[in-house]
Structures are given as C-alpha cells and as structure tokens.
Chain A
Amino acid sequence: MTGLFSEVFLSALLFGAVTAAIPLLLAGLGEQMSEKAGVLNIGIEGMMLAGAYLGFVGSFYSGSLWLGFLTGAAGGMAVALIMALLCVRIGLNQIVIGIALTLGLEGLTALLHHFQFSRSYPRLPAADATIIPLLSDIPVIGPAFFKHHLIVYLAVALVFAMSYLYRRTQLGLNLQAAGDKPAALDVAGIDVIRTRTIAVLSTGALAGLGGAYLANVGAGLFIPFITNGAGFLGIVLAMLARGQPIWVLFGALLFGVCLSLTTAMQVAGINIPTDIIQMLPFLAVMIMLVLFGRRASLPAALGIPYERGAR
C-alpha cells in the first residue's frame, strides 16, 4: 500500500489526469462556444470520433503528430459543417441531428477502422514531450504537469484565449448576442447564421482536436468508440461552467483525476471495481447541483433556430 503514496505514483497519477483531462477540456471549450451562440451541440461526440479517427489516420500515414492534429481538427469540422448546414442554416431540430451525427460517426469510424486497421491494430510511437526547464524539476509537480506534449500547454493557454475572446472582443459580443437575443444581433447588422456557423465550426475543430489527442497521444491508437462518452462529458462541463472557460478547465481536471485514478488502481492491483471511481466525479457534481442547484444560466435562445422576422 505504501506504493500508493510514493512520489512516482503521485506524479504518474497527476500526469495521467492531465492526459485524460485534455480531450474533455477541448470538447468542453468547444461545446461552450456553440452554446454561447445558441446552438446545443449534441453531435460533439461524433465530431470527436471523426477527429480521433482522421487524426490517427493523418499521423499514422504521415508520421507527424501535428499533421494528425490538423486532420483531426479538419475531421471534426467536417462533421460540424453538416450540423451547421442542417441546424443553423435550415433550422432542423438540434437534438435530433446531434444524436444522428453521433450515431452515424460511431458507426462510420468503427466501419472504416474495421476495414483498414482491424487486422494489424497499428500503434503510434509515444508522443515526445516538451519539457519545460526548471519547472519540470520540481518534485511530483514537475513530472506531472511540465513534461507533456506541446499541445497540452496550448490547450491550457486556449482557456485564457477564450476568456479574452468572450470578454474583450467584438466576436465575443456577437456570440453572446447570438445566443441571448439573435434578433438584436441581426438588426445590428451582423449575420446571425454566420455567427452561429462560426461557433459550430469552431466547436467541431476543437472537438476534433480533442479526439485526435485522445487517439494519438492518450492511447496511441484508434479503436471503435474510443471517446466513450467524452463528448457528452464535454456537454456536461460546458453547461456547468456557465459560460466561463476557466470552469471548464477545473471540471475537466476533476474528471481527469478520477479517470486517471481508475487506471492507476488497476495498475496497483487494488481490488475495487474501477466503476466506483468513475462514479465519483458525477456524484460530486450531482451533489453540488442538489445542494446549490441554482437555475442554470443558459442562453435564452439555446436550441432555437433563428429565422429572420419570426417572433
């Protein structure tokens, strides 16, 4: 049991937590942007899967992780484009199309994987880390937080970039108006459809990137259903974060720790079903909701397609 609390164990645990948190963070940030602009994006799980699959394919054939991230983001964006056309442009039901996209991409990526990789199950080499000088020498913390792939630091930086975007830029204002009172944005001369399309496409790119990270860095391979609900977790994180990117980060880390703990306990051979630990973050959030359950401050026009002139 002493092994549990050794430095090595702790830093491995935290390292794993960060690795597990990054896809959730990217998905949550992406979903948050759609929701801010008034689009409930239930298809984000499908976008992550597209990103995971294409990200893996990109890296596998090119040998470059970065190219994989790029193809992954493009894959997520391609799915988001369908969502934007169907739900934003012609106003079909966002929940129906979202679920359709998730199911479709679950099936499609599994199908493609079956025909392409199911005989060989190829793996990518471990991603090389960018070691931050000095900080990485701190015991426990250093190896846990400062020896990750560069994209991890970029993802964390993105949290602050998004905060800035929402609070200080014209696009941030436009996004919020598109979600809270789209008609006001329209009469101010900004195209609501275009604003929401930008938001949904960005969501797709972020989710796709999250998926690509999951496959390329987290697992090193693609397997069907690899996201395992990460997209839905992203929806939960975005809704709980009430429009604040920093809360998506905290939430993602909380879930990341729990996910990492399950792996760690398996490795340590501890005889508790991992399901119990997987339940912990949900339990924590549900208890928080029950105790402090305030009315969720969701955008007024969330889920409602915009039609000019309709009241």
Chain B
Amino acid sequence: MSIDTAPTVSATSLDATSSAATRRDILRRLLMTLGPILVALVIAGCILLAVGVDPLAYYGYVLEKGLFSPLGIQQTLTRMAPLLFLAAGLIVAFRAGMWNLGGDGQFLLGAVTAAASAPVLVQIMPASLALVCSFLIAMAVAMIWSLVPALLRAYQGVNEIITTLMMTFLGTSLANVLVKLVFRDPGTTVPQTRTLPVEDRLPRLFDTTITSGLLLGLAAIIIVHLVMTRTAFGLKLRIVGANPRAAVHAGLGVPGLTIAVFAISAGLAGLAGAVDIIGVQGNVRADWNPAYGLAVIPAVFLARLNGFAAIGFVFLLSVLSIGGESAARRLGVPNHFTLVLVSIVLIVLALAEYVDHRYNQSRKA
C-alpha cells in the first residue's frame, strides 16, 4: 500500500533519537527472549511432573552442574567450542538462503580426518604446526564433501535440502567405514582411530580444563558475523539469500557465490569436528555421532542468524546438555529431556515472535 503521504526525512534527523530507540529495542528483544524461555521451562516442568520428577530439583541440579559448579562451567565452555563453529557455518548458509542440513556428515568427516592426521603429523613436525595442518585437512575434506550438493544446486538447480540430507547419511556411514577399515588403531580391540596424546592436544586455558578451542570458536563466529554484516562479500551473500533474482540482475556471480557458501559452511562444520577431536576427544570411536548439527540449528534460528546472539544460545544449549547429562546420572532423567526443552523453547519463542508481530501491526493500524 502506498505511504506516499509520509514526510520525507533526511538521514540525519533520525540520528538524535536513534540511540535511545536502539536501547529500547535491545531491551525489548531481551524481554522477548527471556519471557518465552521462562514459559518453556514451565511447560517442560509440567512434563517432568507428569513423569514423577520434581522440576525445581531438576532445574536446580542442571544449573548447578552446568553453570555454577566449577567443573560444570568448564565442561560447558568446552562443549561450546564445536557448537560455535557449527553455528558459524549455519549462519553463513542460512543468511545466503541455502539450507545446509548436512552439518552432521561434514562434522564427522572433519572429525575423522583430524583424528587420522593429527597423531601421524605430530610425529613428523612440531605439534603446533601439526595441529594447524590437521585443522586445514579437516576443513578441506569437509569442503570437498560439500562440493556435490553445491555444484548440483549452483548449476542444476537441485534442491539442496535433499542433497545435503543424503550427503549427511552418506557422510556418517563413510566416517564409520573410515574408522573401521582405514584409520583403525591396530593397538586396540575396540574399533577407533589412533589416540592423540593429551599433551599434543589443544592447550587448556590457564589452570582450567576449558579447551582453547573455545577461543577459536568465538573468533570464528564473530568473524563470520562481521563478514556477513559489514563487508561487500557478506552483503552479496545476503542478496543471494534474500532475492536470488535481484542477485542475477545486479550482476553477482550466483553459482560461484553458491559454491563459496557451501564451502565456507561445510569448512566450518569440518573445523567443528576437528576442534572437538584435537581439543577434547583425542580419537574417534566407531559409530560416534553426537548429532550436534541438528541441535545447533534451533540455536541459530533463535538468534535470528545474529552471531552474537548465537553465542548466547549456544551457551544456553551447552549448559542444558552438560547439566542434563549430569542429571541423567544422578536423578535418573535421561538427558534426552534436553531435546524436549530445546524444542519447547524454540516453539514458544517462535510463537512469541508471531504474537509480538501481530500486536505491532494492530497497534499501527
């Protein structure tokens, strides 16, 4: 509808009020986020009640083990490292309008190649160089793995949801095959790769057990955020995502950008696998699949594809999963409950956003 009647405002006249407006906006955003989380906790609490668990005791325990105990918070922060890389990769893909649902396959292949290369490389070169090399190898392998869906989407227009889903099934199996047949450690009876000695892994931060991979993950997601919001390259990707036809019209090389998006997204997922192995696990056991990829997607959406907000949600997710794992051992509530909680948070937040949007519209009318 036409709003021709709206007065012409020069760019500067808005600036005086904008900082106050921004602050109010941030406050409202915060309220709009925390409120629904509270509601979700209540709903999930009802489910706990229904199965005969005291929700307050459960939440208290989860918070204590995931957030307030020294060991718990260190585990939580360690858990964040791979999740941050995955979130960064998803932000790139989703902002560019590509539904990369193949994060788990890319993650596992990155993990397996890192696990295979790192123990060998540390024997022939300085440890720090070896780790950098195996990071790069993991990234490259994941990038190559994403090439098939990328090329199919870029040049054949094949929907990337099906191809990335298939590639993730394929990648999960391939990772297992590699662990069992190619990179199997002959020295153990259980099928797993050779173990990277603890002293060769990523250093821990100060005197804690927190992996320095956390810093890498934070750097990755902040760089991704800045690139997507402040640079020409990021703007090009966002144009492709928001209106692919406008991208063609503006003369952007859409196929090339598509391949770049997949490469970056998958590369970051591969790095996520590598940082988990080189920083924490040390090896890959057969049939290991933490399925972080699917779990991070909600966090990224809840953050509205904003890198900084995503850090917050990844932190929340980590607290819930670390705390949930402890609660599983102590309170007998399986840690799958975390999934239920995440799901309810996601749905309530989406609903809240809808209601808020509706309210704003009716107020304007």
Give CA–CA (A111, B148) in the complex, Å: 38
**Contact residues in A for B338 (Cβ distance below 8 Å):** 107
CB–CB B351/A86 < 8 A: yes
Scoring B residues 155 to 167 as 1 if CB is less than 8 Å from chain A, else 0, what string do you get? 0111101110111
Across the interface, B350 reaches (CB within 8 A) one of A97, A114, A293, namely: A97
CB–CB A279/B177 < 8 A: yes
| Residue total for B at the interface (Cβ-Cβ under 8 A) | 45
CB–CB A224/B346 < 8 A: no
Does B33 touch A at the CB level, under 8 Å?
no
CB–CB A111/B347 < 8 A: no
Give CA–CA (A286, B102) in the complex, Å: 14
**Known interface pairs A86-B350, A240-B162; A282-B169 also in contact (CB < 8 Å):** yes
Interface segment out of the listed B79-87, B254-262, B295-303: B295-303
Across the interface, B339 reaches (CB within 8 A) one of A107, A239, A286, namely: A107
Minimum CB–CB distance for A57 against chain B, Å: 14
**Known interface pairs A107-B338, A110-B334, A275-B180; A229-B169 also in contact (CB < 8 Å):** yes
Give CA–CA (A232, B164) in the complex, Å: 11
**Known interface pairs A97-B350, A296-B158; A104-B170 also in contact (CB < 8 Å):** no
Across the interface, B336 reaches (CB within 8 A) one of A110, A232, A298, namely: A110
**Known interface pairs A86-B350, A239-B162; A290-B148 also in contact (CB < 8 Å):** yes
Give CA–CA (A93, B353) in the complex, Å: 11
| Residue total for A at the interface (Cβ-Cβ under 8 A) | 49
Closest A-chain residue to B297, C-beta based?
Answer: A99
**Known interface pairs A107-B336, A273-B180, A273-B181; A100-B170 also in contact (CB < 8 Å):** no
Does B233 touch A at the CB level, under 8 Å?
no
Minimum CB–CB distance for A226 against chain B, Å: 13
Does A90 touch B at the CB level, under 8 Å?
yes
Give CA–CA (A93, B152) in the complex, Å: 25
Does B354 touch A at the CB level, under 8 Å?
yes
Does B99 touch A at the CB level, under 8 Å?
yes
Across the interface, B343 reaches (CB within 8 A) one of A101, A232, A293, A296, namely: A101
Does B112 touch A at the CB level, under 8 Å?
no
Closest A-chain residue to B347, C-beta based?
Answer: A100
**Contact residues in B for A290 (Cβ distance below 8 Å):** 148, 152
8 Å CB contacts to B: which residues of A76-127?
82, 86, 90-93, 95-97, 99-108, 110-112, 114-115
Does B326 touch A at the CB level, under 8 Å?
no
8 Å CB contacts to B: which residues of A264-311?
273, 275-276, 278-279, 282-283, 285-286, 289-290, 293-296, 298
Scoring A residues 130 to 169 as 1 if CB is less than 8 Å from chain B, else 0, what string do you get? 0000000000000000000000000000000000000000
Does B61 touch A at the CB level, under 8 Å?
no
Minimum CB–CB distance for B291 against chain A, Å: 9
Closest A-chain residue to B336, C-beta based?
Answer: A110
Give CA–CA (A221, B351) in the complex, Å: 36
Closest B-chain residue to A87, C-beta based?
Answer: B350
CB–CB B347/A97 < 8 A: yes
Does B47 touch A at the CB level, under 8 Å?
yes
CB–CB A282/B51 < 8 A: no
Chain B residues in contact with chain A, CB under 8 A?
Answer: 47, 51-52, 99, 148, 152, 156-159, 161-163, 165-167, 169-170, 173-174, 176-177, 180-181, 294-295, 297-298, 301, 333-334, 336-344, 346-347, 350-351, 354
Question: 15 A–B contact pairs at CB < 8 A?
Answer: A86-B347, A97-B347, A99-B346, A101-B343, A102-B294, A103-B298, A108-B47, A114-B334, A275-B173, A278-B169, A279-B170, A282-B169, A286-B170, A293-B152, A296-B157
Closest 6 CB pairs of A and B: A104-B343, A107-B339, A110-B336, A107-B340, A293-B156, A275-B173
